[in-house]
Structure 1
Amino acid sequence: MISSSPAGFTGAPWTKRLCLLFVSASILISLLNIQPQFLLQWSPQLAEWQQWRRILLNPLVWTNQGSAMIGGLLIYECRGVERQIGSRRFATFVLETGVLSMLAMPVLLALLALVGVNVPVQAGPQAIVAALVSLYHSLVPNIYFVKLAGVGTWSDKSVMYFLLLANCTSWGYFFKTTTGWVLAKLIYTDAIPGRLWAI
C-alpha cells in the first residue's frame, strides 16, 4: 500500500469513478434482483440461446457484495497507479483491458467447450481489477519486506495479491483474473500496443 501518497482520491478522479460505478451498480442489481442476467456460460447461454448481450453485461458489475467490497478496495488501493501514469493514460488502460478481456472471455469459453468443459463465469470487472493490480505490481516499488513465521519473504504489496486471490471464488473468476493479469503484462511490455495511449 502507498503510505506516502495523498489520502483519498486526491489526484485520482478515474479511480473514484470506477469505485463508485462498480460498487453502486452491484448494489443496484442486487436490489433489482437481476443477478442471473449477468452470468456468462458457453452452453446454453451463448451456444444454444444466442444471448450475446451477456458478453457486454458480464464485466459490468459484481453479483455478490463480498466480491464488490474486495474489488472496490483493490481499485481504491490502485489509485497510486493513476497518480503515477496520469488520468488519461489510466482511463485508456482501463478501457483497453476491459474491451480486450470482454472479447477474450467468449473465445476462452469456446476453447474450453471444445474439450468438454463448460465453465460458468460470474459477473464482475475482475479482469480490470486484476489488470490494475498487475500494473500496481509493475509500477509501485515495495516499501518493506517481512518474514512471517519463517515462511518466505512478504512485501507490503502481498495484501493486494491475497485479496485478488481471495476474490477468485470460482473457476470463472480465476479465468477472468488470469486474463486481466496477462493482458496488463502484454500491454505494459508493449507486446500489445497501448502502453502510451491516452484518451
Structure 2
Amino acid sequence: MFTTTGSRGMYKAPLSKSLLLVPTALTVLLTLLLPQYQSLFEYNLQAVKEEYQIWRLLSGRIICLDLKDTFCSGLLIYNFRIFERRFGSRKFASFLLGTWALGAAVDILLAEALHFLFEMQVEMLPAGLLSPVFALFVPFFCSIPRVPVTQLLGQISVTNKSLVYIVGLQLLTSSSFMWVIALSGLVSGVLYHCNVLWMQRLLQVPAWLGRVGALLLEPLLEGSEPTQEAPVGMGATLDVQRQQRMDLLDQQLLLSQLAQVRRNAQQPQAGLLNWGWLFPTLRQRGRNATPAVAVAQARRPGPSPPPENSPVAEEQVARLMEMGFSRVDAQEALRASNNDINMATNFLLQH
C-alpha cells in the first residue's frame, strides 16, 4: 500500500541519513560543549550587508543553533526521504542545493522589502538548513496524495499528511522571524520545482560530484534492505499479522507481474500508458497466482473484489485527476486495483 513516507527506514536514502546525523551532531557539539563558537554560525544579515561578511551566508545556513529547530527539521527530513528514493540521491541533492542557493537571495530581498515597506529591521534570522526543508513542502504538497485516515469530532478530517504539516507549523512558530525563512523556502521551492529560468539545469549537482558522493556516502550511510518477513509489533493480534503478510504478498505479486509484462514488451508505446493492455493480467492475479497464494487469498477475510466492469467512484477519479493524472489513466488504475485508491496511486506514481 502507498503511504506518505513508506516503512523502509533509511533504505536508499544516504543523503537524508547524512542530513539527519551530521547537522544534529554539530548542533549538540556547539550547544553543549563549544558554546563560545556559536557566534561564528549565526545567520546575521546585518553583518553580511554592512561588514560584507559573505561567509555567513554559508556558515549561518548549515547548523541549527536551537535544539528544538534541529528536532523538528530532522523529523521533516525523515518524512521527506521519500523524494530521495523516488528521484535518486543526485536529483534530491540538486533540489536541496538549488533551493538553498535561491533561499539566500530571497532572504536578503525579503529583509530589504520589510525595511522599505514597514521600516522593520531584520538583523538576525534563524540559523540552519531550514530553507530547503520548507522548500520540500512544495513537492510534498504537489506529488504526495492526500488520503483521509480518520475524522476528529466528526468534522475535522485527518489525512496521511496532517502530521507533517503539524510539525512544519511547530517549526514555523519556533522563533519570531522563522516565517521569513519559511516564506523564502516556499518561494525558492516553487521557483525550482517549476523550473523557472531553467533553474533545474543551472543549479544542479554535477555528475562527477554525484559519483564521488555515491562512492563515499553509500558504503557508510546506506540503510540495510528490508526483509520480506518484517517483524510486527508485540501488541499485534494474529489477524493483524496475517493482514500485514497478505498485503505484502499482494504487493509483491503485482510488482512481479508488472516486471514480467515490461520484460515481454517488444516496443514502447507512444502517448499514454496503455492501462487496458497492462492491467488485465493484474486483474487475473488470483487466477494466475501460485497455489500457496491462491489458498492464502481464499483465507483472507473481507468482501470479494468487484467484477472487472464495476464502475469506479467518481470521487476517487477526481482525487487522482487533482494529482495531475488523466481521467483515462485514473479510471483504468482504479478498475485494475479493484477501486483501491492507495494501490492505484502507487502504480500511477511509480510506473
Q: TM-score, normalised by structure 1?
A: 0.86
Aligned-pair CA distance for 1:13: 1.3
Counterpart of 2:158 in 1: which secondary structure?
A: strand
Is 1:37 aligned to 2:40, yes or no? yes
Q: Is the 8 A contact 1:42 1:110 kept in 2?
A: no
Query: Does the alignment pair 1:78 with 2:80?
Result: yes
Contact 1:61/1:125 (CA < 8 Å) preserved in 2?
A: yes
Deviates more, 1:67-76 or 1:149-158: 149-158
Larger RCO, structures 1/2 (Cα 8 Å, 6+ apart):
1
| RMSD of aligned Cα (Å) | 2.3
TM-score by length of 2: 0.51
Deviation at 1:189, TM superposition (A): 2.2
Match of 2:144 among 130, 134, 140: 140
Return the offset for 1:53.
Answer: 2.2
Q: 1:195 Cα shift?
A: 4.5
- After the TM superposition, which residues 42-53 of structure 1 pair with which residues of structure 2 at under 5 Å, given as runs? 42-43=45-46, 45-53=47-55
Match of 2:120 among 117, 122, 137: 117
Partner of 2:25: 24
1:131 maps to which of 119, 130, 135: 135
8 A contact 2:5–2:80 mirrored in 1: no
Show CA shifts across 1:46-102 (max 9, x none).
Answer: 344433322222210110111101111110111111111111110111111111112
Larger gyration radius, structure 1 or structure 2: 2
For the structure 1 residues 40 and 114, does the alpha-carbon distance in structure 2 shift closer, same or farther, using more than 3 Å as the test? farther
In the TM superposition, what is the alpha-carbon distance from 1:150 to its structure 2 partner?
4.2
Q: How does 1:1-199 map to 2 (within 5 A)?
A: 2=3, 5-30=6-31, 31-33=33-35, 34-43=37-46, 45-115=47-117, 116-119=119-122, 120-168=124-172, 169-195=174-200, 199=206
2: distance between equivalents of 1:57 and 1:124?
Answer: 9
Whole-angstrom CA distance in 2 between matches of 1:186 and 1:14:
22
Contact 1:98 1:128 in 2 (8 A): yes
Aligned-partner Cα distance in 1 for 2:104–2:193 = 19
Q: Which residue of 1 aligns with 2:279?
A: none
Distance 1:145 1:190, change over 3 A: farther
Secondary structure, counterpart of 1:94 in structure 2: helix
Q: Secondary structure of 1:181's match? A: helix
Q: Secondary structure at the match of 2:20?
A: helix
Once the two structures are superposed, residues 95-147 of structure 1 have per-residue CA deviations (whole angstroms, 9 ceiling, x without a partner) of 11111112221232223233421122021111111112322222222233432
Q: Assess, with a 3 A threshold, how the Cα gap between structure 1 residues 86 and 42 changes in structure 2: closer, same or farther.
A: closer
Q: Which amino acid in 2 is paired with 1:174?
A: W
1:123-175 deviation digits (Å, cap 9, x = unpaired): 11111111123222222222334322245423211111111111122242211
Instruction: Flag structure 2 segments of 5+ consecutive residues without an equivalent.
Output: 207-351
Question: Structure 2 CA distance, aligned partners of 1:138 and 1:3?
Answer: 13
Question: Which amino acid counterpart does residue 83 of structure 1 have in structure 2?
Answer: R
Change (3 A) 1:49 1:134: same
DSSP-derived class of the 1:146 partner: strand
- Per-residue CA deviation, residues 19-68 of structure 1 (Å, 9 max, x unaligned), is 1222122122222112233333444x234443332222221011011110
Q: 1:4 deviation in Å?
A: 7.4
Distance 2:60 2:187 in 1: 19
Query: Structure 1 residues 146 and 16 mapped into 2: Cα distance closer, same or farther (>3 Å)?
Result: same
Aligned CA distance change for structure 1 residues 96 and 147 (closer, same or farther; 3 Å): same
